[in-house]
Amino acid sequence: MSLSHIMSTRVVSVHMDDSLELIQTLFAETGFHHLVVVHQNQLQGIISDRDVLKATSPFANTVNERFRDKATLEKKAHQIMTRNVLTLSASDSIVSAISLFNDNKISCIPIIDEKRCPVGIVSWRDVMRFMEARVNAKKG
């Protein structure tokens, strides 16, 4: 079965020069754990919520905030993103995704078209939901 059956087509993207503050807002508003970084609609990188936590001062937006803490929110997407992103296409198999997850320390895979435009995203949770549904279907 292909990834087109399990991928999420709701992908939130940011641009290379979008600020960390904007990225934090998008994570909070969407509840997503990954945002793709695009330039001219082509995938350039990916940012996880963990990347944002690592890049942001824990004192930003608190009473203990100092200038340098606030400055962390001015970092740009291209400064914190992962550049060498492992990707698949919608026609690739779910087994291909499982192999990528098992062989690499990643938690999502952007799905791109032939022009490197993001068309979806698959997380390891998507794969697990699919597997659970298959097991339950065989039981019933």
Per-residue pLDDT of the chain (140 residues; tens, 9 = 90+): 999 999 999 999 999 999 998 999 999 999 999 999 999 999 999 999 999 988 876 665 656 656 566 677 789 999 999 999 999 999 999 999 999 999 999 999 999 999 999 999 999 999 999 999 989 998 86
134 vs 2, 5, 8, 91, 128, CA distance in Å?
Answer: 14, 13, 18, 19, 10
Of 40, 29, 34, 45, give the one whose Cα is nearest residue 7.
Answer: 34
Q: Which pLDDT belongs to residue 57?
A: 63
Under DSSP, the state recorded for 93 is B
- The CATH number of domain 3-139, selected from 3.40.50.720, 3.10.580.10, 3.40.50.920, 3.40.50.800: 3.10.580.10
Structure tokens given for 133: 């549904």
Residue-level pLDDT at 138: 86
Domain ranges of the chain: 3-139
Helix/strand/coil for 59: coil
Three-class SS state of 100: helix
Report the distance separating Cα 133 and Cα 65, nearest Å.
Answer: 47
